[in-house]
Structure 1
Amino acid sequence: MKNSVLNHPIISERYFFPRYEPFQNPYFVECNGTKLACYYQNNHPNAKTVIYFHGNGEVVADYLDFFPQLFDNEKYNLLLFEFRGYGMSSGKATLVNMLDDVECVINKLNIPQTKIILYGRSVGTLYAAHAAYIFPTADALILESGIADIEERIMIRLNSPAEINSSYEELKEEFTKHFDTKKKLSAFKGKSLVLHTENDQLVSVEHGKKLYEYLNQPKNIHLFERGDHNTIFTVNQNEYFQILFDFLKK
C-alpha cells in the first residue's frame, strides 16, 4: 500500500464509480490484503491470454455475456481484471494502490510475458499502460478510449489542491511519479493498437492520438467516425472486433 495524496478519499469518491455485481465462479486473487474477484477462462493450453481492464462504472460481470465466448472462439484465454471495490472485490478503489494490484494478478497467472495480451478501456488504460511498463515484452497492447493525461481528468474534479491538503506542486510530482504515461508506453516493446471515437465527449480523441504518439512501432490507430465513449462497442461492433482480431493475428 502506497502513501500517496492521489489515494485521498475525495479523489476516489469523485473519480471512481464502483458497484457490487456478483457472478458465478470468480477467480479470486489476494493482493496486498485485498481480495480481487476477477474472471479467468483458460481453455487453450499454450495459447495467448488476453488481460482486460474495464472502464469506470463498469464491472467484470458486464462483460460475461459476450467476452468469454468471443475470445474463446478465437482460441485465446481470457482474464477479466477486477478493480478493488468493484464487483465482488473487497477494498476501496484508489488510484495508486490499484497499480500494485496489476502486477500481483498477472504474476498469479504464471505465464510467459510473450503469451500476454494487455487490453484496457477508458480508466482501464491507465492500468493496462502500467502493465505494459512492468511486462514490456508482452505480445500486444490495446488501448481503447484511453486516457493519456490522468492529471487533467482528476483536476477537473477538484476545487483546489487545498481540498485534499495538498498543493499543485505535490500533485504534479505524484502524477509524474505514478502515472507518467509517456514513460510507461515508450518502454513497451510489443505491438500496439489504439482505438478511439472521433466524437468521444468524455475523453477527447486527442488522448488517443497522444497515446499513439507515445508508443513504439509496430503500432496502429483506428479512429471510429461513429459512436462515443460509451457506445464505441455497440455502434461499431463488427468493425471493432474485426480490427482487433486482425491486429492480434498479425
Structure 2
Amino acid sequence: MKKRVIIWTSIFTSVLTAMATVFGFFVTNKLMYMKKKEYDFILNREITSKRLDEVWYNTVNKTEQWIESKNGYSLKAIFLEPLQTNNYVIICHGVTENKINSLRFVRMFERLGFNTVVYDHRRHGDSGGKTTSFGFYEKIDLQSILEAVRERAGEQAIIGIHGESMGAATTLLYAGSIVDDADFYISDCAFSDFEDQVYHIMTQTTPIRSSLAIRFANLFLKIRDGYTLNLVSPIDVVDNIEKPVLFIHSLQDDFILPKMTKDLYEKKNGPKKLKLFEIGEHAKSFNENSEEYEQVVADFLLENNLLNK
C-alpha cells in the first residue's frame, strides 16, 4: 500500500511538473515571440488610411542608418529631415508594429519644428535581436539611438522621445532607470507595470485567474531571457524622471487600461501634463483625435519652453 502511494505520488508530481513546464514555455513563447504584423500590411494600412503621405515620404530628405545597440545587434533607423533644424523627436513604435507605423507622427512634429527619427525595435522590422522584452532590453537600444541622434544634432539641440504602448513603456524605463538625457518625453498609452498588464490580458483572454501563472512566467522568463516581469515596471522608476513628460491615453482603451497612465502621471514628479481622450481604442488616440492631439503636444512644448528655442 505504501509503495503504491509513493508510485502514484511520483506520477502525479511528474505530470504536474510536465504541465507546469509546458505552460511556462507556452506563456513565455507568447511573450518573447509575439506574432508581428507583416510589413506590407502595415504599409498598406497607413497609406489607405492616409496617415502616410507617400509623395512627401518619397521626396523628403532622409537618411537610413544602422545603429549598433549595446545589446550586441544592429538597429535600423531613418532620419527624416524636412527642416533646417538640429531639433529631433525619436519615435518608438508599439509591439508587433515597425518604423512604418511611426511615420504617422512625423508631419505633426514637422509642423512643430522638429525633424524626426523612426526606428525598429529589436526583433521588429529590419532590426536584430531574437526576442521581444517589452522594454527591458529595448530601453538599452533606445540609449544607443539617442546617443546617435545627439552625435548628429549636437549638444545644444532639443531632443524629445515619443513612445506609444510598448514604445511608451520603453521611453519611461529608459528615462527613469538609465539616463534622463532627452529634453522631453511623450508617453502614449504605456502600461505602468508589466506583471499587472500580463495578468490583465490573461484574465481577459483565458480562463486563468490565478497569480500562480505569473510566477511560472517569471521563472521561465528568467531562465530563457534573463529577466522577470516585475523588472519591466515604469511605475517604479517614473519618479526619477526630472524632464517634462506628457502622458496620453484614451478612455476607451481596454487593452492597456487608462488607469495605468493616471497612476504614472500621479507618481511623476516635476513638470508633467495628462491628456485623456474620450475616443480611441488602444494606440489610436492620434488616429481618432489628430488635430486635438497635435494641439495638446504643442501646448505641452510651449508650456515647457521647448518650441522655437
Which of 48, 55, 76 is residue 37 of structure 1 equivalent to?
76
- Mapped contact 2:93–2:101 kept (Cα < 8 A): no
Bigger Cα displacement from structure 2, 202-211 vs 67-76: 67-76
Cα distance in structure 2, aligned partners of 1:231 and 1:180: 23
Gaps of 5+ in 2: 1-24, 44-56, 304-309
- Indicate the residue corresponding to 1:119 in structure 2: 162
- Residues 187-244 of structure 1 show CA distances to partners (whole Å, capped at 9, x for unaligned) of 1111111111111111111111011012112111111112221432222111011111
Length, aligned pairs only = 241
- Mapped contact 1:86–1:93 kept (Cα < 8 A): no
The normalised TM-score by structure 2 is: 0.67
- Using the TM superposition, give the Cα deviation of residue 79 of structure 1 relative to its aligned residue in structure 2, in angstroms: 1.3
Matches within 5 A, 1:1-250: 9-14=29-34, 17=36, 19-20=38-39, 26-31=64-69, 32-42=71-81, 44=83, 47-64=86-103, 66-95=104-133, 96-109=136-149, 110=151, 111-112=154-155, 115-133=158-176, 134-155=178-199, 156-157=201-202, 160=213, 166=219, 174-176=228-230, 178-250=231-303
- Using the TM superposition, give the Cα deviation of residue 84 of structure 1 relative to its aligned residue in structure 2, in angstroms: 1.4
The structure having more radius of gyration, on CA atoms, is: 2
Secondary structure at the aligned position of 2:141 is classed as helix
Q: What RMSD over aligned residues (CA atoms) do the two structures have, in Å?
A: 3.3
- Indicate the residue corresponding to 2:21 in structure 1: none
- Residues 24-78 of structure 1 show CA distances to partners (whole Å, capped at 9, x for unaligned) of 85322122332211221245566432111111232111233x4333322322121
Gaps of 5+ in 1: none
Secondary structure at the aligned position of 2:180 is classed as coil
Letter in 2 for 1:149: D
Taking every aligned residue pair, what percent have the same amino acid on both sides? 24
Secondary structure at the aligned position of 2:237 is classed as helix
Letter in 2 for 1:174: T
Letter in 1 for 2:193: D
- Using the TM superposition, give the Cα deviation of residue 164 of structure 1 relative to its aligned residue in structure 2, in angstroms: 5.2
Secondary structure at the aligned position of 2:125 is classed as coil
- Mapped contact 2:243–2:271 kept (Cα < 8 A): yes
- Mapped contact 1:11–1:154 kept (Cα < 8 A): no
Cα distance in structure 2, aligned partners of 1:136 and 1:193: 15
- Using the TM superposition, give the Cα deviation of residue 137 of structure 1 relative to its aligned residue in structure 2, in angstroms: 4.3
Change (3 A) 1:43 1:10: same
- Mapped contact 1:188–1:215 kept (Cα < 8 A): yes
- Mapped contact 2:165–2:190 kept (Cα < 8 A): yes
Cα distance in structure 2, aligned partners of 1:116 and 1:162: 39
Higher helix share: 2
- Using the TM superposition, give the Cα deviation of residue 116 of structure 1 relative to its aligned residue in structure 2, in angstroms: 2.1
The normalised TM-score by structure 1 is: 0.81
Bigger Cα displacement from structure 2, 134-143 vs 187-196: 134-143
